């Protein structure tokens, strides 16, 4: 039986929100900070060799989950096994086997060169002195940074720093790599480049667990995706299977101009499609509808608008994305 | 390779990294040359102004300070002050910078012992400190014509080296609290002020009220500064200061253990509260 790369059971992390002033402390007033669950019962099994994505909006609890796996946070309750090891009781063993890229470019020493950064971290990762040079050359090549290794990090672009942070995570030659928003802040070209690097990690037989709030990234890169919201997993499957749950082939975005109540239009639209989202701002109603065929639905939508005195200003037909899955399970858009 | 050997290597890598970063700001070293000369020199001149080099006044000073050499006395005191200040700031500031920059978490996800980021950066303060001592010695000679015999200087070097663990431990104790309080600058200021007052930096400990002297003799810098003066200015040998050195090393060990315990405790509590990533 193979050991799961990551396994969590009912993982919970409670944080305190708000603050307690010194005055309140001195007077020993009751602690009124509310405690909230940043991670609220997450069950995960990441299989060896897969790229697993945690997809969710800001504040969903992705980073908190990653930090618990990487031994930076102690869970409030629940259990974790990383490569079969409990990070609570044997944190050093977990750290030695885990490549973690958490806060990306901020976590580097900008006044040092890329190579100097790696030399320091190689020592921290306990790479044997005889292997250090080769190991550094290896990870630099893996992120295609060998030619800039002797430049100061402060002169790198954001994408290069992100890649250096990835190189650092690879120093211990880890079977499991966790990446927190690896492409955040990168331009499309640099993002694509970094995603290629991640695919190579998988090709080398490593397991990758990453977080993202870009649905395209989750869709293209991940073998399986867990959609997470408010600290809970709301859906988990392969991107294709997740999209199939929508039970629609196409998604239609409508922009409707209207004066009165929007309910009649929405009711009419709902007869021929699933209205996943509708948002009114002044005289405009934005609707996202899931349907089997846009060719059938769009004419019906025009009829519906006309019969209720509204005008359709804009129609856009797009394929189903993970965004729609998120919308379907949470009722909110990912990007809000 | 055993875990300990690997951690020792990591420790030196941390010191090296800190020195490399320091080197990239060469102007920092200017301060190293400037203050160690200017501040004590002004105190010496003040002392001369008070005494008018009157033999009676000097005898009174010698009675309390153990030597008539005002310049030597003040320079040794200030050397201690510079040393204290750089270690009190050094370790804490290094840790604090890591925290603010965001590199502390990257260090904490590695299997290296937590003592590496705690103790490593302090090493980088030792080389600049040695340079400061040399500069002060030269200034003492050039400005005030004070030249202790070579033997005394070598013995003083031994006292300094044996004093390193104590000051290091004190600096580290403060560094440890960074994990909890973030900004420790005000506390360091306060403590440094206390050391200046209590440890005989610019005036003999004998001038303090009795109760304050009791406290003074609990602080390692008091011993070290006293021993340096005895060796450099009064011709004492190492054997005579050995009991003090033993006391200093003991306090050093206790302080270091306390620092480690505090750091361990705060690290765990930070991992619980999420304080590691806040500052
Ligand atoms: N150290 C901390 N102390 C207190 N609250 C925290 C801490 N870290 C995170 N939180 C809170 O926990 C919740 C989840 O945060 P987390 O960083 O895990 O979200 P995320 O999914 O990574 O979001 P993002 O996409 O913005 O990175 C947020 O409400 C955040 O305010
Ligand atoms: Mg995050």
Give the 3-state secondary structure of A243-256. Answer: HHCCCCCEEEEEEE
Please enumerate in sequence order all residues whose Cβ is within 8 A of that of A247, keeping only pairs 6 or more positions apart, or say none: A274, A290
Asked whether residue A23 carries a pLDDT value surpassing 80, the answer given is: no
Asked whether residue A1 carries a pLDDT value surpassing 70, the answer given is: no
Nearest to B32 by CA among B116, B173, B187, B136: B136
Report the separation in Å between the CA atom of A9 and the middle of ligand 1, taken as the mean of its atom positions: 20
β-bridge partners, A210: A53, A179
CA distance A70 to A128: 22
The ligand placed nearest to the CA atom of residue A65 is: 1
CA distance A164 to A190: 13
Q: What single DSSP character describes residue B67?
A: S
User: What's the pLDDT at A190?
Assistant: 86
Last residue of a domain, one of A197, A212, A243: A243
Mean pLDDT of B208-214: 88
Owner of token pair 């370790």: B91
Query: Which chain B residues are closer than 8 Å to A106 by Cβ?
Result: 101-103
Report the separation in Å between the CA atom of A61 and the middle of ligand 1, taken as the mean of its atom positions: 6
Is the domain of A148 the same as that of A274? no
Which residue's CA is the nearest one to ligand 1's atom 28? A59
Is residue A12 situated within a structural domain?
no
Q: What single DSSP character describes residue A106?
A: G
Query: Which chain A residues are closer than 8 Å to B105 by Cβ?
Result: 67, 72, 102-103, 107
CA distance A48 to A2: 8
Is A132 touching B (CB cutoff 8 A)?
Answer: no
Q: Which of B13, B105, B112 sits opposite A72 (nearest CB)?
A: B105
Is A36 touching B (CB cutoff 8 A)?
Answer: no
Atom in ligand 1 nearest the alpha carbon of residue A61? 18
User: What's the pLDDT at A112?
Assistant: 93
Is the domain of A220 the same as that of A251? no
Asked whether residue A335 carries a pLDDT value surpassing 70, the answer given is: no
Is the domain of A171 the same as that of A69? yes
User: What's the pLDDT at A196?
Assistant: 92
Instruction: Indicate yes or no: CB of A116 within 8 angstroms of CB of B20.
Output: yes
From A107-116, A131-140, A222-231, B86-95, the region with the lowest mean pLDDT:
B86-95
User: What's the pLDDT at B277?
Assistant: 67
Higher-scoring residue by pLDDT: B5, B62: B5
Please state, rounded to an integer, the average pLDDT across all residues of chain B.
86
User: What's the pLDDT at B202?
Assistant: 81
Mean pLDDT of B157-182: 86
Residue B121 corresponds to which tokens in the numbers above? 């950066």
Is residue A235 situated within a structural domain?
yes
A112 Cα to chain B: minimum distance (Å): 7
Nearest to A116 by CA among B122, B115, B20, B108: B20
Q: Taking the model in full, what pTM does it have? A: 0.85
Contact at 8 Å (CB) between B173 and B258?
Answer: yes
Q: Which of A67, A102, A129 sits opposite B9 (nearest CB)?
A: A129
Is the domain of A200 the same as that of A259? no
Last residue of a domain, one of A243, A260, A290: A243
CB atoms within 10 A of CB A217: 25
Is residue A20 situated within a structural domain?
no
Mean pLDDT of A62-82: 95
Which residue's CA is the nearest one to ligand 1's atom 29? A59
Contact at 8 Å (CB) between A121 and A99?
Answer: no
Query: Which chain B residues are closer than 8 Å to A35 by Cβ?
Result: none
Contact at 8 Å (CB) between A251 and A320?
Answer: yes
Last residue of a domain, one of A217, A243, A269: A243
Mean pLDDT of B257-278: 86
CB atoms within 10 A of CB A96: 18
Is A130 touching B (CB cutoff 8 A)?
Answer: no
Domain containing A235 equals 49-76+83-243
Nearest to A149 by CA among A186, A117, A172: A117
Instruction: Indicate yes or no: CB of B103 within 8 angstroms of CB of A107.
Output: yes
Instruction: Indicate yes or no: CB of B116 within 8 angstroms of CB of A124.
Output: yes
CATH of the domain at A112: 3.40.50.300
A:62-91 residues touching chain B, CB 8 A cutoff: 64, 67, 70-74
CA distance A116 to A114: 6
Burial (CB count <10 Å: 0-12, 13-18, 19+), residue B130 = middle
CATH of the domain at A286: 3.30.70.1710
**Domains: count for chain A:** 2
Residue B88 corresponds to which tokens in the numbers above? 């009190």
CA distance B70 to A312: 93
User: What's the pLDDT at A221?
Assistant: 93
Is the domain of A196 the same as that of A273? no
Please enumerate in sequence order all residues whose Cβ is within 8 A of that of A291, keeping only pairs 6 or more positions apart, or say none: A248, A249, A250, A251, A252, A272, A273, A274, A297
Asked whether residue B235 carries a pLDDT value surpassing 90, the answer given is: no
Position B1 confidence tier, pLDDT thresholds 50, 70, 90: low
User: What's the pLDDT at B13?
Assistant: 93
Is residue A17 situated within a structural domain?
no
Smallest CA–CA distance from B20 into chain A, residue: A112
Which residue's CA is the nearest one to ligand 1's atom 12? A38
Radius of gyration of chain A, Cα coordinates, nearest whole angstrom: 24
ipTM for the assembly: 0.85
Is the domain of A227 the same as that of A111? yes
Is residue A226 situated within a structural domain?
yes
The ligand placed nearest to the CA atom of residue A74 is: 1
From A188-192, B187-191, B248-252, the region with the lowest mean pLDDT:
B187-191
Contact at 8 Å (CB) between A72 and A101?
Answer: no
Is the domain of A88 the same as that of A167? yes
Residues A166-175 pLDDT 10s = 999 999 999 9
Instruction: Indicate yes or no: CB of A98 within 8 angstroms of CB of B109.
Output: yes
Please enumerate in sequence order all residues whose Cβ is within 8 A of that of B62, keeping only pairs 6 or more positions apart, or say none: B68
Which residue's CA is the nearest one to ligand 1's atom 3? B274
Is residue A39 situated within a structural domain?
no
User: What's the pLDDT at A47?
Assistant: 95
Is residue A257 situated within a structural domain?
yes
Is the domain of A254 the same as that of A190? no
Q: What single DSSP character describes residue A334?
A: T
In the sheet with A34-46, reading across from the earlier edge strand, the strands are: A34-46, A6-17, A77-82
Asked whether residue A223 carries a pLDDT value surpassing 90, the answer given is: yes
Residue A65 corresponds to which tokens in the numbers above? 């989950």
From A92-96, A177-181, A316-320, the region with the lowest mean pLDDT:
A316-320
Long-range contacts of A135-141 (CB under 8 A, 24+ apart): A135/A171, A135/A173, A136/A171, A138/A170, A139/A167, A139/A168, A139/A170, A139/A171, A140/A114, A140/A115, A140/A167
Contact at 8 Å (CB) between B229 and B73?
Answer: yes
Is the domain of A231 the same as that of A129? yes
Residue B57 corresponds to which tokens in the numbers above? 């006044």
Asked whether residue B37 carries a pLDDT value surpassing 90, the answer given is: no
Is the domain of A182 the same as that of A306? no
Position A230 confidence tier, pLDDT thresholds 50, 70, 90: very high
CA distance B231 to B156: 6
Helices B55-65 + B70-101 axis angle, to 10? 50
Instruction: Indicate yes or no: CB of B105 within 8 angstroms of CB of A121.
Output: no
The ligand placed nearest to the CA atom of residue A36 is: 1
Contact at 8 Å (CB) between A55 and A1?
Answer: no
User: What's the pLDDT at B265?
Assistant: 92
Q: How many CB pairs below 8 Å do chains A and B form together?
A: 101
Is the domain of A154 the same as that of A64? yes
Asked whether residue A165 carries a pLDDT value surpassing 90, the answer given is: yes
A235 Cα to chain B: minimum distance (Å): 27
Q: Which of B9, B24, B103 sits opposite A123 (nearest CB)?
A: B9
Residue A326 corresponds to which tokens in the numbers above? 């998120």
Smallest CA–CA distance from B277 into chain A, residue: A72
Query: Which chain B residues are closer than 8 Å to A110 by Cβ?
Result: 101
Is residue A98 situated within a structural domain?
yes
Asked whether residue A92 carries a pLDDT value surpassing 70, the answer given is: yes
Residues with CB under 6 A from ligand 1: A 15, 38, 56, 58-64, 213; B 274, 277-278
Mean pLDDT of A42-60: 94
Is the domain of A285 the same as that of A185? no
Is A161 touching B (CB cutoff 8 A)?
Answer: no
Long-range contacts of B194-201 (CB under 8 A, 24+ apart): B195/B81, B195/B84, B195/B219, B195/B221, B196/B81, B198/B222, B199/B80, B199/B225, B200/B77, B200/B225, B200/B226, B201/B77, B201/B78, B201/B80, B201/B81, B201/B225
User: What's the pLDDT at B278?
Assistant: 64
Instruction: Indicate yes or no: CB of B277 within 8 angstroms of CB of A95.
Output: no
User: Percent of chain A, pLDDT > 90?
Assistant: 58
Asked whether residue A336 carries a pLDDT value surpassing 60, the answer given is: no
Please, which residues have CB less than 5 A from ligand 2, an ion?
A: A 63
Owner of token pair 């040695």: B130
CB atoms within 10 A of CB B207: 11
């Amino acid at each position: 039986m193979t050991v799961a790369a990551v396994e969590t059971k009912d993982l919970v992390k409670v944080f305190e929100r708000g603050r307690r002033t010194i005055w309140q402390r001195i007077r020993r007033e009751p602690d009124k900070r509310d405690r909230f669950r940043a991670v609220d019962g997450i069950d995960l099994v990441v299989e060896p060799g897969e790229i697993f994505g945690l997809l969710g909006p800001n504040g969903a609890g992705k980073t908190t989950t990653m930090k618990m796996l990487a031994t930076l946070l102690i869970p409030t309750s629940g259990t974790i096994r990383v490569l079969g090891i409990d990070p609570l009781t044997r944190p050093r063993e977990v750290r030695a086997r885990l490549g973690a890229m958490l806060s990306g470019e901020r976590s580097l020493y900008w006044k040092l060169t890329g190579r100097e950064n790696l030399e320091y971290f190689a020592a921290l990762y306990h790479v044997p002195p005889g292997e250090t040079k080769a190991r550094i050359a290896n990870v630099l090549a893996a992120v295609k940074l060998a030619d800039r290794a002797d430049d100061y990090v402060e002169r790198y672009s954001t994408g290069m720093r992100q890649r250096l942070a990835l190189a650092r995570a690879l120093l211990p030659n880890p079977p499991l790599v966790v990446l927190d928003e690896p492409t955040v802040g990168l331009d499309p070209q640099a993002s694509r480049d970094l995603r290629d690097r991640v695919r190579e990690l998988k090709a080398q037989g490593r397991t990758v667990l990453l977080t993202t709030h870009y649905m395209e990234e989750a869709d293209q890169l991940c073998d399986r995706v867990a959609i997470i919201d408010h600290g809970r997993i709301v859906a988990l499957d392969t991107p294709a299977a997740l999209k199939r749950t929508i039970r629609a082939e196409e998604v239609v975005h409508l922009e409707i101009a209207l004066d009165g109540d929007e309910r009649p239009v929405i009711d009419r639209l709902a007869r021929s499609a699933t209205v996943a989202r509708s948002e009114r701002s002044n005289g405009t109603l934005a609707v996202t509808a899931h349907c089997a065929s846009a060719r059938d639905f769009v004419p019906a939508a025009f009829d519906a608008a006309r019969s209720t005195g509204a005008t359709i200003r804009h129609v856009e037909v797009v394929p189903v994305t993970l965004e729609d899955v998120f919308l379907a399970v949470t009722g909110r858009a990912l990007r809000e | 390779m055993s875990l300990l050997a690997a951690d020792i290597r990591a420790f030196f890598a941390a010191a090296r990294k800190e020195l490399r970063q320091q080197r990239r700001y060469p102007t920092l070293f200017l301060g190293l040359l400037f203050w160690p000369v200017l501040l004590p020199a002004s105190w010496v001149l003040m002392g001369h102004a008070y005494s008018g080099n009157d033999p009676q006044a000097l005898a009174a000073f010698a009675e309390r300070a153990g030597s008539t050499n005002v310049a030597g006395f003040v320079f040794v005191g200030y050397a201690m002050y510079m040393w204290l200040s750089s270690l009190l700031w050094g370790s804490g500031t290094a840790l604090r910078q890591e925290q603010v920059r965001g590199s502390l978490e990257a260090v904490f996800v590695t299997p290296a012992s937590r003592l590496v980021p705690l103790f490593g950066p302090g090493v980088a303060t030792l080389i600049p400190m040695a340079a400061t001592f040399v500069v002060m010695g030269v200034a003492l000679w050039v400005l005030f014509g004070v030249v202790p015999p070579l033997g005394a200087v070598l013995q003083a070097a031994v006292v300094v080296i044996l004093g390193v663990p104590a000051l290091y431990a004190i600096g580290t104790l403060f560094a440890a609290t960074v994990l909890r309080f973030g900004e420790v600058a005000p506390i360091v200021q306060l403590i440094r002020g206390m050391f200046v007052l209590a440890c005989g930096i610019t005036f003999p400990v004998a001038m303090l009220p009795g109760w304050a002297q009791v406290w003074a003799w609990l602080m390692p810098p008091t011993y070290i500064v006293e021993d340096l003066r005895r060796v450099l200015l009064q011709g004492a040998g190492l054997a005579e200061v050995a009991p003090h050195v033993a006391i200093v090393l003991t306090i050093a060990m206790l302080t270091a253990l306390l620092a480690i315990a505090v750091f361990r405790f705060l690290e765990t509590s930070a991992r619980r509260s999420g304080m590691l990533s806040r500052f």
